Amino acid sequence: MKKTLFKSLLLGFAALTALNASAENKLIIEDFALAPGETKEIPVYIQNDQVFNSFQFEIAPIQGLSFDYACEPTDAELIQVSVDDHWPHKSNGSAISVPPQDNTLEDGTYRVVLTHMTTYSNSNKYIVPFGIGEGIICVLGVTADENFTGGKIVCTYAKGDYSDPAKPEWVGQFEISNQEVCNITAPAAAGTPLKEIVETGVDGTEYTVKEDLAIVAKSDVGYLFVSDGAGNWMKVKADETVYTTMKDYTSIKGGTLIGVLSDANCNQTLTITKAAEQGGNVTASAVAWDLAQSDPTSAQYKFAPKVNEVILLTGFWFANENAFRGYSDQSGQSATANFDWCDTEPTMQNGVLYKDIQSVAQLKKAWDAATTGAPAKVAADDPLSFQNYVVYPLAISESQVITGVDNLNASKDVVSVQYVNAAGMVSTTPFKGVNMVVTRYADGSQVTTKVVK
């Protein structure tokens, strides 16, 4: 009798061990999308071949994602597929408990603890376990930061107490068989790339700018000058209310800048009536342009900023021409940038060299031809293309005056201008090709420069 009982117990233990070894328990979180800055509640399911009393799982840190809380599912969220109605995952709202806890560990791991509940019948205390089947066991609150680019939820730990369905007591360890649980994707912002709007945008069309943008300069008359950080620029026009909201922004979140494009003379402006959202992970800065650059190997030798590009302009101020100019003693080339509105209405000194004036470059007229990019959208391959620019200084101060530098030609009266071609022919009008320009002044001095027509 004792041998038979011992044999039966042994066989029962072996069967239980085999059941535990072959059990397939899975933690399931379905793949989901989470945009930067978005918050969601994510249901966590369990698919189990064993009954268990309590369960704990831990999730590895994910760059840019925070787990805000874990809570019990509502009755509406519950999916009940238990094979045994006596052992549901949630029975009358009493079988699942997510106690308050400090969930985030020092290394950033997020821990969730699910405990069993107790119920009483005729003053007897019973453990109410999680039944076999599939259902929601908890809900996770998650938030993506502004730089979130997606990730994968990986369980670094997932164990609990295993129970015997016939007798709700702990008899062993409950484990899950999967570790990589789900993928999180960060959907790209809707809209049109800034480069495409600049090069092929249609006048009068509404556009949403797809990428994050850096605000490089501002004007109190309601303009923001923005860049995608890849060399593409746009002037954004806002009314007083919208500008007041956005004037302290340093960047704009992709997919939130929406406006109507105007394209006068290829000087694109996006007029907005609603404030965009601040945020984004892009940087851009003003580009230095020296009109007096004399080194022909320099990228600045030919003044050719992009439309709406924010520049730091260095050049001589010519009051009689209402323009900034530069002189090159080595080449004789003199670039000219006409001057227009300025926020500060400065009193500038004639013939004085100014350095690093924050300005915006625009075109006097649309380009007649272009060798690259969209037609009339980029600078023509013309040695005199610098003459097609007008600059809009945003601020000029006396501190930008370069002392000790004087341009003696700035205020002198011109007596005559002659053009000499490569064959030595002289004319009062320029020849086609290379011209040496001889300018004579009333005081008897003269300056020779070189231009190409």
As a whole number, mean pLDDT of residues 14-25 equals 52
Integer Cα distance of 68 and 41 in angstroms? 10
Same domain, yes or no: 95 and 72: yes
Which of 81 and 158 is assigned the larger pLDDT?
Answer: 158
DSSP string for residues in 126-192: EEE-B-SEEEEEEEEEEEE-TT---EEEEEEEEEEEEEETTEEEEEEEEE-S--EEEEEE-PPPPSB
Same domain, yes or no: 266 and 310: no
Same domain, yes or no: 400 and 421: no
Integer Cα distance of 393 and 187 in angstroms? 39
Q: In sequence order, what are the residues at sequence separation of 6 or more whose Cβ sits closer than 8 angstroms to the Cβ of residue 102?
A: none
Position 8 in a domain: no
pLDDT in tens, 168-185: 566 778 888 887 788 888
Same domain, yes or no: 47 and 86: yes
Q: Report the pLDDT value the prediction gives residue 343, as an integer from 0 to 100.
A: 59
Position 357 in a domain: yes
Same domain, yes or no: 301 and 368: yes
pLDDT in tens, 211-230: 999 999 998 889 999 999 99
Same domain, yes or no: 266 and 326: no
Is the Cβ–Cβ distance between 361 and 335 less than 8 Å?
no
Position 5 in a domain: no
- CA 193 to chain centroid, in Å, comes to 12
From 272, 304, 325, give the residue that closes a domain. 272
Closest C-alpha among 323, 315, 305 to residue 361: 305
Q: Is the pLDDT of residue 201 over 60?
A: yes
Q: Is the pLDDT of residue 26 over 50?
A: yes
Closest C-alpha among 442, 162, 451 to residue 328: 451
**Token representation of residue 119:** 């119920």
Closest C-alpha among 28, 47, 35 to residue 140: 28
Same domain, yes or no: 385 and 406: yes
Question: Strand 65-71 to strand 110-114: parallel, antiparallel, or no bridges (unpaired)?
Answer: unpaired
Q: Is the pLDDT of residue 374 over 60?
A: no
Name residue, tokens 């209405």. 345
Q: Is the pLDDT of residue 270 over 80?
A: yes
Structural domain span for residue 166: 21-185
Q: In sequence order, what are the residues at sequence separation of 6 or more whose Cβ sits closer than 8 angstroms to the Cβ of residue 2?
A: none
pLDDT in tens, 42-76: 988 888 888 777 788 899 999 999 988 887 776 54
Q: Report the pLDDT value the prediction gives residue 393, as an integer from 0 to 100.
A: 85
Q: Report the pLDDT value the prediction gives residue 323, as an integer from 0 to 100.
A: 77
- Band the pLDDT of 15: cuts 50, 70, 90: very low
CA atoms within 13 Å, Cβ hemisphere of 349: 15
Same domain, yes or no: 383 and 330: yes
Is the Cβ–Cβ distance between 188 and 170 less than 8 Å?
no
Same domain, yes or no: 120 and 217: no
CATH code at position 219 = 2.40.50
As a whole number, mean pLDDT of residues 367-388 equals 57
**Token representation of residue 427:** 């004319």
Position 16 in a domain: no
Integer Cα distance of 423 and 212 in angstroms? 55
- φ/ψ of 398, rounded to 5, equals -65, -25
Least confident of 67-76, 313-322, 336-345, 425-434: 336-345
Average pLDDT, the chain: 74
Position 278 in a domain: no
From 185, 212, 230, give the residue that closes a domain. 185
As a whole number, mean pLDDT of residues 309-324 equals 82
Integer Cα distance of 60 and 108 in angstroms? 7
From 150, 185, 220, give the residue that closes a domain. 185
Same domain, yes or no: 262 and 312: no
Is the Cβ–Cβ distance between 91 and 128 less than 8 Å?
yes
Position 12 in a domain: no
Dihedral Cα 316, 321, 322, 325, nearest 10 deg: -30
As a whole number, mean pLDDT of residues 344-358 equals 76
Q: In sequence order, what are the residues at sequence separation of 6 or more whose Cβ sits closer than 8 angstroms to the Cβ of residue 432?
A: 453
Q: The pTM is what?
A: 0.54
Q: Report the pLDDT value the prediction gives residue 250, as an integer from 0 to 100.
A: 94
Q: Report the pLDDT value the prediction gives residue 333, as an integer from 0 to 100.
A: 47
As a whole number, mean pLDDT of residues 373-382 equals 54
